Structure 1
Amino acid sequence: MSDAGYDHATVERRWQEAWDDADVYRTPDDVDDPTYVLGMYPYPSGKLHMGHVRNYTITDAYARYRRMRGDDILHPMGWDAFGLPAENAAKDRDTNPRDWTFDCIETMRDQMTAMGFGYDWDREITTCTPDYYQWNQWLFERFYEEELVERRDAEVNWCPNCETVLADEQVEGEAELCWRCDTPVEQRVLEQWFLKITEYADELLDAIDDLEGWPNSVRQMQRNWIGRQYGTELEFDIDGHGAVEAFTTRVDTIFGATFFALAPDHPISEELAETDDAVHEFVHHEADPEGDEPNGVETDLTATNPVTGEEIPVYVADFVLSDVGTGALMAVPAHDERDHAFAEKKDIDVRPVIAPEPDGDEAPTAPDVSEGAFTDDGVLINSGEYSGLDSETARARLTEDIENAEEATQYQLRDWGISRQRYWGTPIPVVHCDDCGPVMVPKEDLPVELPEFINTTGNPLDAAEEWKRTTCPDCGGDAVRETDTMDTFVDSSWYFLRYVSPSLEDAPFGRERANDWMPVDQYVGGIEHAVMHLLYSRFFTKVLADHEGLQHREPFTNLLAQGMVQLEGEKMSKSKGNVVSPQRIVEEYGADTARLFMMQAAQPERDFDWSEEGVRSTYAFLARLQEMVEEYVTDEPDGDDDAIASYVDSEIDATIAIATGEYDELTFNKALRETQDLTRTLRQYSDYAEPHAETYERGLSAVVRLLAPVAPHLAEELYEELGHDEFVAAADWPAAEIDRERVEKRRRLVENTREDIRDIVDVAGIEDPTAIDVVVAPDWKYDALEIAIESDADNLIGELMGESHIRERGDAAASYGQDLQAEREALSMTLEPDEEYAALESAAWLIEREFEASVRVIHADAAGDDVLANAEPGRPAIEIDD
């Protein structure tokens, strides 16, 4: 122990080597059902950042906690190793993506080891290796066999700088820029491979309700992305173009349709753009689906309302999307906010046809739609024979009555385009033959391995002529390999299954073991993956359940989306120059300090600000704890088993019970606050009196084990100093049986009493109190409080006075009854009188220590009436002599 603190570097290196030598974190294959704890695997970018450290500290702490509770633990790590950034980095450095990626992996693995993360490295997976991505290819072909793969033309987001397709979520901001290089994204039509996730849209949506261990926000994001809507498909005749199909969820408003709108890329819009200059200008230059306001242009066309026969103008509008509904819609400004805004801008009629439900026999009154739309269901008005019907009834009847109309379900979810025009990804296992068309590579010929990297513009696979040229598996003729590679989301959609049998050579995962070990019990990752990665993982799991014998249809039972680590309120990023290096923190303060600071700073779901002062304070706490253990081992205290020891024992039990509950809920900050409070109590105890050895050692042992999931290196060191031969990582979690509600009442009583004494000393200006009396309230006040809490009588004082033992207290009872009446809504039960007395008596030493005054805790029957007038349950009366 030095003045600067403990030797964290030596301690951490020693225990990391010891864990490794003893295979502490290895998961045997023969366990029945391990607790599966998993953090989303990282992209190997070169170095860990603080977001990584927080994510993996959460999973590591929980895995360690569950291990100490006696669980077999599966806690693996791997690498999301494919992707365009590595390809770009290799081009910039004139190297190849494989070497760059593996150099990054080596660096990050070393950093993870330095952080003390307890992974089973025997299960490590790396998605860019052929022994992993061959199973991407195998799964692609299984999906193809089950008719869940399709190849077709599609309009895609194209980055001309990266020369690849981007998913919608990779196009950022109103300017529609590439997420990697900030280049404006273009639209292109390319032949693409799709996985038919829409076949599972209903199950993916309906099963969200059963994901009770997921945050509500994430579940809602998934619902919104799938976007199921029930409505009606119907036809409007457009002059010169025939019947055009529209989808609406509010066919009950059809009498209020005052214009018809087409998406800018609807076939009619594109045809008009060839001859109409205004339409051409809007379609090609002005349309902005991401804009704040709807915009559009009127055409010379009209559409015929199939119910009223009315001809309404046709607009091309950018708020209509070709991939939502049918790309055409009837617009009802009175009952849709978007339509209303557009109608206001273009001076189109706003015609209300739905009125709020009237009261009683009153006639429905048209709503005021001058400032905005009335969007609720109601009663139809101005709707011919349908007037007077409620909206739901009208929707059903109109759908039945309108020719060629039918009920329909629409989804926002679209099939998953997995084709990427880049080198560093899984080759799609297809060859193209002029005679046979696209042909799957036989499974026995997998993997189709990547050729040597060629540093060229565009897709390097297009330049790999020798690799591209092959023969058709069906006819033996000349053929060309597919040069698109798979979206890296494919890699991450099933990687959690590979961990259960990472060396299996004849299947992507061991079915029997997967059925025993899946689903993942606790999954942790960033909120940025709340939609796509999780949705695709759920899709894969359901397909594998249907076609590969997997018994579970959901991959993750519990999900935690951790918050960001910020600096002065902003997300850390290299571009902002506000990155804090984990390596520097480990070197200066140690991994335990970094881990403990992050876990105690906020709940895992919350963002929090990095604070160098907070880091130093955390380091000082760990140093003080080591000092306390060393002093105990050296001094061998021999104090009495007295009331003070009893209080400390009760605080040990309380801390264990409360911290355990918080660890169960992954609210590590609350568990650590409890642990640090107990540490403070133990230090106060040793400063005030000669500690009782058994009590003090029990307290130190509890603190060390409660800290072990978060600060594992120092916990191992101190556990050994306390005389234990086993690893604390494998030790039993401390146990205590308490009534948490009573503990909290006792703590609140003691702290409120100490605070009241501080207030009196401060207000009265008492510099050196010599004696403090704490007087517990009389029994009748506890009875009165209980009556007040349980009573629903309007006249509480009358009910209290109905009790003879309260009534006989006269004015004191009336006064207390008035107080109870005034605070009735906020009343809560306290400890029983004897419990309250015992709690204050055992904690009197804390008051004596703080104020350096003698303290007496007095029963009500030993106090005068003038003092008792101020004593209430949970708030004893206080008298101070100076």
Structure 2
Amino acid sequence: MSDSGYDHATVERRWQEAWDDANVYRTPDDVQDPTYVLGMYPYPSGKLHMGHVRNYTITDAYARYRRMRGDDVLHPMGWDAFGLPAENAAKERDTNPRDWTFDCIDTMRGQMESMGFGYDWDREITTCTPEYYRWNQWLFTRFHEEGLVERRDAEVNWCPHCETVLADEQVEGEAELCWRCDTPVETRELEQWFLRITEYADELLEAIDDLEGWPNSVRQMQRNWIGRQHGTELDFEIEGHEDVRAFTTRVDTLFGATFFALAPDHPISQELAEEDEEVRHFVEHEADPEGDEPNGVATDLSATNPATDEEIPVYVADFVLSDVGTGALMAVPGHDERDHAFATKMGEDIVPVVAPEPENWDGETVPDAPDVQEAAYTDDGVLVNSGTYSGLDSETARERLTADIESAEHATQYQLRDWGISRQRYWGTPIPVVHCEECGPVMVPEEDLPVELPEFINTTGNPLDAAEEWKETTCPDCSGSARRETDTMDTFVDSSWYFLRYVSPDLGDAPFDLERANDWMPVDQYVGGIEHAVMHLLYSRFFTKVLSDHEGLEHREPFTNLLAQGMVQLEGEKMSKSKGNVVSPQRIVEEYGADTARLFMMQAAQPERDFDWSEEGVRSTYAFLTRLRGMVEDYVADAPAGADDAVASYVASEIDATLAIATEKYDDLTFNRALRETQDLVRTLRQYADYAEPHAETYERGLSAVVRLLAPVAPHLAEDLYDQLEGDGFAVEADWPTATVDRDHVQKRRKLVENTREDVRQIIDVAGIDDPQEIDVVVAPDWKYDALEIAIQSDADNLIGELMQESHIREQGDAAASYGQDLQIEREALSTTLDPDEEHATLESAAWLIEREFDAPVSVVRAEDADDSVLSNAEPGRPAIEIEE
């Protein structure tokens, strides 16, 4: 080892080979204490990026930690290997998606191995293999048998460049561009296969409250996506047309409906577009549901308000969506901000029909109507200008109007729509259906699965359409001529159950071993990007519930705890190739080692937060590991023979403190706090060695604790140092170090020492003492500790009176009264401290830190040995300080 660093490449290669030879990460099938730790598997794009490294370092560190705590840990890895990018890359390179994908997998697997990630590679899955996607097809068939698959015409987002359907979340921005190629997205109507996720909408929504281990932001995003609303459906008459049904959550505002609005693709809108040029132009060229302002066009139609029998104008408006509600709505500009903006733009009436409930309202009088010309009043309140319903509160009015209007009935609407899984592309799971002129769509029998992809044909459009020989087949029902379905499945299908395949990746007669899945599931800790907060996680929850209902899975939720890790940024911006600000993980591994990269990222911020990559921070981390290695090598070469004195006692207590706090932080995945504690302990050990010859047993225990605390994050060097310290077996399999004190005791002791050191600094600074000759630290008398304990436990109004009931406190006279007044003032903020003997012992063991800092002898004085003038300032947890110049 040189002063500038250690041979990290040799160290990391040595231990990776040793772990591999010993098969230390293999997970047995039958386990007693299972813990399932999983990072969202990656799309094999070719190389790892820093986001990958951070995600998988988090899961690896936690898996290693749980393994050292004695758990049987399942920590697998696989590949989200289907998808359009591979197909596009193959077309560009005149190769095929399979070869491209597996080349990328080989590269990324090698990078993962160089990072030292502790995966059970025997459980590796790759979704583009027939061995995996066979079970996508099997599940599709089972869903179909249970009535959860439907084929129907639907308007879809179509990317003309990628020549495929896009999900709503894959259409980005106001310009509605494809998420992959930035091409403007079109709307087409195609026959599509749907999974009926809406059948589970209520359970998916209501079970969110039970996902206590998920971030609140993710849970709210799922609630919003499902978008359940309770309200009323009612009919509006439009002359010359059938009655149009509208949905509203605010039927109490019905008397204020001054116009009616239809979605651009509502059947009446489409009919009008054929006859009215203005409507046609708006529908085809101007309607923009994602626009900043509501827009629309007037029609010659009018609708009848069922409450007032008044005719109100009908508009075609782009803020009305056909797949939300009924595609038609009553517009109440006085009480809806969007309707208000549109009415103002179009010059329509704005009528107030709900007023804020007055203070001390008697429930009978009708309040004055609010002024809504400038802004809508959107809260519930009391009805005004509403005929016989005026004076009712909003909730009562909603019930009465729904009961009184003949066409009205209570209804529940959802934003969630069935999941369209059809994709017009090659590189995905073939949908196991054949189309027969006699029989219609027919499921491929289970014994004929998998329906494998044919050889790739580099052509425009869907290559499966060009695979004529593959397409032509026979009908399983009538044996007549048929053609295969040429759509493939959305790749979200692959990821909706992949976590179950890991428990039995080689199983040949079922998608997963049910008994093992029931043992391992749900995943204890799941880690991935916030961008998957809705679709992947929602679809995984859907699949899990279906499998619970129909396949015997005992669990209805897939993931107990979810961590959405933050981004790795450079100078405040997300790393991306287009911005030219990508830092290569491979370069960092080559220059500084995998341990340095892992440790830097884990100590830089809490896992959920974004952080800036810093080359200086990387170098500092490498220097820390180098120093730690030097400390262990020095100890091994020449074990010290210092005394087991007060200083050693302090160091021993700091070891326990570090273990107590770091363990707690590892438990809740606050790795940066655990690592900060570990680095502070290293600093204490170095200070100890600089101050005096260390006590060998204490010093070695400290080094051993540090090595094991670092083992989950910097496993290679930790393994090397553990070996030098002659630990048994591998560090990765070592017992987690335990403390002999609890967290509360640690906090009290640390607070006492730090407050005392800070008081000494402040006195020296304020008094302008340049060269202190002696420092006395005086512990408070016993009676003050008793008074503090009484004050904490007492709920008496007269605290001083209660204190004076104790004779040994009352005997202190004015001093007791003065201290009692202080306790009375600070009563709400009081907290327990160490007892007098513990406080004295703690301060004596820490005195060397003060001596070292100020180069002056320190005496810790008991109350009975102190001067009264100094003692009067001493309080529990806050000793008095006297400094002699």
TM-score above 0.5: yes
Aligned counterpart, 1:108:
108
Aligned counterpart, 2:25:
25
Summarize deviations over 1:35-58 as a string: whole Å, max 9, x none. Answer: 111110000000001110111111
Counterpart Cα distance in 2 of 1:802 and 1:238: 86
Q: Is the 8 A contact 1:137 1:446 kept in 2?
A: yes
Matched, 1:53 2:56: no
Task: Could you tell me which runs of 5 or more consecutive residues in structure 2 were left unpaired when the two chains were aligned.
Answer: none
Summarize deviations over 1:222-255 as a string: whole Å, max 9, x none. Answer: 1111111111111000122130000011111111
Counterpart Cα distance in 2 of 1:422 and 1:655: 55
Q: Structure 1 residues 723 and 32 mapped into 2: Cα distance closer, same or farther (>3 Å)? A: closer
Aligned counterpart, 1:532:
535
Alignment map for 1:770-849 (pairs within 5 Å): 770-790=773-793, 809=812, 812-813=815-816, 815-817=818-820, 819-820=822-823, 822-849=825-852
Which amino acid in structure 2 is aligned with residue 640 of structure 1? A
- Structure 1 residue 307: Cα displacement: 1.9
- Structure 1 residue 5: Cα displacement: 1.4
Q: Secondary structure at the match of 2:582?
A: coil
Which amino acid in structure 1 is aligned with residue 570 of structure 2? L
Counterpart Cα distance in 1 of 2:883 and 2:740: 37
Aligned counterpart, 1:244:
244
Aligned counterpart, 2:467:
464
- Structure 1 residue 391: Cα displacement: 2.0
Alignment map for 1:247-326 (pairs within 5 Å): 247-326=247-326
Aligned counterpart, 1:716:
719
Summarize deviations over 1:411-439 as a string: whole Å, max 9, x none. Answer: 10000000111111111111112222111
Summarize deviations over 1:714-766 as a string: whole Å, max 9, x none. Answer: 11101110112300111111122423112111101111211222223333333
Which amino acid in structure 2 is aligned with residue 325 of structure 1? G
- Structure 1 residue 507: Cα displacement: 1.0
Alignment map for 1:498-577 (pairs within 5 Å): 498-577=501-580
Which amino acid in structure 2 is aligned with residue 879 of structure 1? E
Matched, 1:381 2:384: yes
Counterpart Cα distance in 2 of 1:132 and 1:541: 17
Which of the numbers 680, 685, 701 marks the counterpart of 2:683?
A: 680
Counterpart Cα distance in 1 of 2:187 and 2:196: 22
Q: Is the 8 A contact 1:357 1:364 kept in 2?
A: no
Q: Structure 1 residues 443 and 33 mapped into 2: Cα distance closer, same or farther (>3 Å)? A: farther
Q: Secondary structure at the match of 2:334?
A: helix
- Structure 1 residue 790: Cα displacement: 4.8
Summarize deviations over 1:366-406 as a string: whole Å, max 9, x none. Answer: 33423322222222222222223222222222212111211
Summarize deviations over 1:590-619 as a string: whole Å, max 9, x none. Answer: 111111111111111111111111111111
Aligned counterpart, 1:444:
447
- Structure 1 residue 143: Cα displacement: 0.9
Which amino acid in structure 2 is aligned with residue 46 of structure 1? G
Aligned counterpart, 2:13:
13
Counterpart Cα distance in 1 of 2:604 and 2:573: 16
Alignment map for 1:399-418 (pairs within 5 Å): 399-418=402-421
Counterpart Cα distance in 1 of 2:854 and 2:104: 58
Q: Is the 8 A contact 2:474 2:482 kept in 1?
A: yes
Counterpart Cα distance in 2 of 1:812 and 1:217: 54
- Structure 1 residue 855: Cα displacement: 0.4
Counterpart Cα distance in 2 of 1:128 and 1:454: 17
Aligned counterpart, 2:150:
150
Aligned counterpart, 2:752:
749
Aligned counterpart, 2:352:
352
- Structure 1 residue 807: Cα displacement: 5.7
Counterpart Cα distance in 2 of 1:187 and 1:7: 59
Q: Secondary structure at the match of 2:243?
A: strand
Q: Is the 8 A contact 1:33 1:517 kept in 2?
A: no
Which amino acid in structure 2 is aligned with residue 520 of structure 1? V
Which of the numbers 681, 699, 702 marks the counterpart of 1:699?
A: 702
Counterpart Cα distance in 2 of 1:643 and 1:599: 34
Counterpart Cα distance in 2 of 1:70 and 1:796: 50
- Structure 1 residue 779: Cα displacement: 3.4
Q: Is the 8 A contact 1:32 1:516 kept in 2?
A: no
Matched, 1:178 2:178: yes
Larger mean Cα displacement after TM superposition, 354-363 or 177-186: 354-363
Counterpart Cα distance in 2 of 1:455 and 1:655: 60
- Structure 1 residue 869: Cα displacement: 3.7
Q: Secondary structure at the match of 1:38?
A: strand
Summarize deviations over 1:37-80 as a string: whole Å, max 9, x none. Answer: 11100000000011101111111111111111111111110000
Q: Structure 1 residues 680 and 248 mapped into 2: Cα distance closer, same or farther (>3 Å)? A: same
Aligned counterpart, 1:865:
868
Which amino acid in structure 2 is aligned with residue 669 of structure 1? N
TM-score scaled by structure 2? 0.97
Aligned length: 882
Aligned counterpart, 1:89:
89
Q: Secondary structure at the match of 1:838?
A: helix
Counterpart Cα distance in 1 of 2:518 and 2:405: 51
Counterpart Cα distance in 1 of 2:524 and 2:32: 14
TM-score scaled by structure 1? 0.97
Summarize deviations over 1:649-706 as a string: whole Å, max 9, x none. Answer: 1111121111111111111111111111111111111111111111111111111111
Kindly, what percent of the aligned residue pairs are identical?
85
The CA RMSD measured in Å over matched residues stands at 1.8
Aligned counterpart, 1:768:
771
Q: Structure 1 residues 486 and 836 mapped into 2: Cα distance closer, same or farther (>3 Å)? A: same
Q: Is the 8 A contact 2:33 2:71 kept in 1?
A: no
Counterpart Cα distance in 2 of 1:426 and 1:116: 32
- Structure 1 residue 819: Cα displacement: 4.5
- Structure 1 residue 462: Cα displacement: 1.3
Summarize deviations over 1:186-226 as a string: whole Å, max 9, x none. Answer: 11111111111111111111111111111111111111111
Counterpart Cα distance in 2 of 1:611 and 1:777: 47
Counterpart Cα distance in 1 of 2:144 and 2:721: 57
Matched, 1:874 2:877: yes
Q: Secondary structure at the match of 1:319?
A: coil
Counterpart Cα distance in 2 of 1:864 and 1:262: 89
Q: Secondary structure at the match of 1:654?
A: helix
Q: Secondary structure at the match of 1:252?
A: helix
Q: Is the 8 A contact 1:138 1:446 kept in 2?
A: yes
Counterpart Cα distance in 2 of 1:654 and 1:368: 63
Q: Is the 8 A contact 1:234 1:404 kept in 2?
A: yes
Counterpart Cα distance in 2 of 1:862 and 1:776: 10
Aligned counterpart, 1:651:
654
Larger mean Cα displacement after TM superposition, 357-366 or 484-493: 357-366
Which amino acid in structure 2 is aligned with residue 184 of structure 1? P
Counterpart Cα distance in 1 of 2:785 and 2:31: 55
Counterpart Cα distance in 2 of 1:211 and 1:458: 42
Q: Structure 1 residues 38 and 870 mapped into 2: Cα distance closer, same or farther (>3 Å)? A: same
Counterpart Cα distance in 2 of 1:841 and 1:364: 76
Which amino acid in structure 2 is aligned with residue 426 of structure 1? T
Q: Is the 8 A contact 1:294 1:341 kept in 2?
A: yes
Which amino acid in structure 2 is aligned with residue 721 of structure 1? Q
Larger mean Cα displacement after TM superposition, 501-510 or 794-803: 794-803
Q: Secondary structure at the match of 2:275?
A: coil
Counterpart Cα distance in 2 of 1:81 and 1:712: 29
Larger mean Cα displacement after TM superposition, 791-800 or 591-600: 791-800
Aligned counterpart, 2:233:
233
Aligned counterpart, 2:664:
661
Aligned counterpart, 1:690:
693
Q: Is the 8 A contact 1:776 1:859 kept in 2?
A: yes
Alignment map for 1:74-223 (pairs within 5 Å): 74-223=74-223
